[in-house]
Chains A and B, each alone.
Chain A
Amino acid sequence: MTDTTTEVLADFALDTTAKSLGDVVSDAKARFKSGNLGSLPSVLAIITLVAIFGYANPDAFLTTSNLANLMGQASAVIVIAMAVTFVLLLGEIDLAAGFTAGVAATVMATRLADGWPLWQALAISALVAIALGMFTGYMVAKVGIPSFVVTLANFLSFQGILLLLVKDKGTLRVQSTPVKALVGGNLSPTLSWLLVAVGLTLFAWSLWRTMANSYGAVPRSLVLIKLGGAAAAAIMVTLLLNENRAFEKAKEQGTVIDGIPYVVPAIMVLLVLLTFLLTRTQYGRHLMAVGGNPEAARRAGINVQRIRLTAFGLCGLIAGIGGIFLASFVDSVDPNTGANDTLLLAVGAAVIGGTSLFGGKGRVLNAVLGGIVLALIPNGLPLVGQRSPFGIIDIDFSSSGVKFICAGLALLAASSVDALSRKGA
């Protein structure tokens, strides 16, 4: 819109004036300029990393088997990142979410080992995860201890619970075919296409709904571009993944590995459900309000303590689901399930995706985008191998040291964007 039209606009004109694609683009530009970058940095990071690794080692990185690997590697961190998103939105943190995942996974594995049916093992593990989260929530909301301190303490005690559960067995195998298949298994090519069809239909429906309710603020061309882009990407990826990606040797022996990995629909279902909860329900609205301004929420009659308590419970439950992904990735649980850098990567993923550490700003989708960035780094770096980038020093990019440094720098960059955007606002 130009300045001359702004003057003659009547009340709420921006809500009811049809916008062209150009208007939408300049709106987005203005938003970025004002420091509100949203998911842009993570999307750019994904593109950059793919370009760098693809250039450095196209034969190993740009393969369909690596693409499928990447999805499996990213899945657990993405789910745990979704979990912490709900407490990050309140400006809180859950440092123990990794161990909540570990405990939930181990509870499930021990029940399965005792011959419980899968659904019962899953139900009890979910209950335990919720209980752990609610305990944290009680300490934060009712007792009034900062979540950083509560979850630091829980970081230790939940690890203790995990050790007690695993006992001296060291490693406990997961005895359930569906759980093992969750990360690593694939839909058949036919089901893959069905998934694409269902996914695109739902996406088209939600885009159409947004457009219909927008009084023209969302132009049809934008909807078509989004839908077209999504369809092209989904079809291309599915075509690639439906190829047999077994190694040449294995192929000769008749091994077939093809189709979209199960983790893709699994993550999509979680993404849609949790986004729905956050944006379309009263609970989600109140959670955002408490994160934005707890005092305003309180004066609006929102039970702030209840929101805090349940957000931690929800975080526990989703982290518990993440634990199943962790267990499925290696088909077993041990004292390190959910330990080490799991939690740091999850929080990092949420923040890299654009969710603020200061509360009130974030989306569930950010966890997915950030999780992909953080999975790309350890996936791609080893394929780069030993290099001397500026001809001065030799760097072994496959070493863990370089991996950690790169992940750390990515997180630092993302939180700088977050902090600077708050300053600029």
Chain B
Amino acid sequence: MSNDKPILELQGINKSFGPVQVLRAVDFNVYAGKVTALIGDNGAGKSTLVKCIAGVHPTDSGEVRFNGQSVSIHGPKDASELGIEIVYQDLALCENLDVVQNMFLGRERLKHGLLDGSSMEQAARDTLASLSVRTLKSVRQQVMSLSGGQRQTVAIARAVLWNSKVIILDEPTAALGVAQTAQVLELVRNLANQGVGVVLISHNMNEILQVADRVSAMYLGQVAADIEVTESTTRETLVELITSGRSGDVGLITNDAEEEVTA
């Protein structure tokens, strides 16, 4: 199946914040119906890559293809129009708005030019129910009053609401308890089984080996390896890729990344 065309294809993406180059010639592929894990140490550039895909940060150079077509994403609207949804690490919810208002933010349903509250509320409830969310008692609660896990749920539901083609989750389980983590992972798997291209960013190797079909490992702003997860893929391989950008015969060949950083 790995010879399938990727639904989202990034090639040679470069991104700097002032003098600091955060992404170097990054190639990254997302496949429909598969979970692609994106791993890397703190500051490797994972969140930045996601924000570039989302159109939150403009890229310096590089190409993005969606369904084989070259596209340019200049803002969050462009990304969502393509069917790309992101659940950010810093969830980016409006605490002063309620669950429904957050889920529909920027894409409100209107009736006669006015907000259609009841229809949005019903749709929000249906989506949350389809994710078998057990923890939310009211969709009219302000996000301010929700726990971390509940906020995570709302953020994911917000992405799922739009029948998206690609959903990117930036460390969705980092703040969750055991039961909720299992629930989110199951959800991730379900989304992929429904044909969505899912990207999962995580620091938890067990989690990745459990749900991911492929792994892209980032090391100091570069993609060190892009591998398929098989029976023989081990925790140790992944950890090596994260910490040194290399494991056995996969990974970065040269060491210049490190040299450039120290220079």
Contacts and interface: CB of A to CB of B under 8 A. Distances in A.
Nearest to B51: A299
B110 A301 contact: no
Contact of A15 (B54, B113, B114, B139): B139
Contacts of B93: 293, 296
Contacts of A289: 94, 97, 101, 105-106
A301 B92 contact: no
A282 interface: yes
B114 A302 contact: no
Contacts of B133: 11
Interface residues of B, number: 41
A300 B75 CA distance: 10
Contact of A302 (B56, B105, B113, B115): B105
Given A296-B93, A296-B94, A296-B105, A301 B80 contact: yes
The CB with the most chain B CB atoms within 10 A, among A217, A288, A296, is that of A296
Interface string B109-121: 0100111011001
Interface size class of A (residues with CB under 8 A): 20 to 34
Nearest to A291: B96
A300 B76 contact: yes
Contact of A301 (B106, B113, B129): B106
B138 A15 contact: yes
A51 interface: no
B245 to A, nearest CB: 30
A360 B98 CA distance: 12
Nearest to A284: B115
A14 B115 contact: no
A295 interface: yes
B96 A15 contact: no
Contacts of B128: 11-12
Main secondary structure of the interface of A (DSSP, over half): helix
Contacts of B108: 282, 285
B97 A288 contact: yes
Interface string B86-106: 101001111111000110011
Contacts of B105: 285, 289, 296-297, 300, 302
A41 interface: no
Contact of B138 (A14, A286, A425): A14
B137 A9 contact: yes
Interface string A11-29: 1111100000000000000
A86 to B, nearest CB: 15
Given A301-B75, A302-B105, A302-B106, A12 B136 contact: yes
Given A12-B139, A282-B115, 20 more contacts: A12-B136, A14-B137, A281-B114, A288-B94, A289-B106, A291-B96, A292-B96, A295-B92, A297-B105, A299-B56, A299-B76, A299-B86, A299-B92, A300-B107, A302-B106, A360-B94, A360-B95, A360-B96, A361-B96, A425-B144
Nearest 9 Cβ contacts at the A-B interface = A300-B106, A292-B96, A292-B94, A14-B138, A360-B96, A296-B92, A301-B77, A301-B106, A300-B105
19 contacts: A11-B128, A11-B133, A11-B137, A12-B136, A12-B137, A14-B141, A15-B125, A15-B137, A15-B140, A213-B118, A288-B96, A288-B97, A293-B93, A296-B92, A299-B54, A299-B88, A299-B92, A361-B96, A425-B144
Interface of A: 6, 9, 11-15, 34, 213, 217, 280-282, 285-286, 288-289, 291-293, 295-302, 360-361, 425
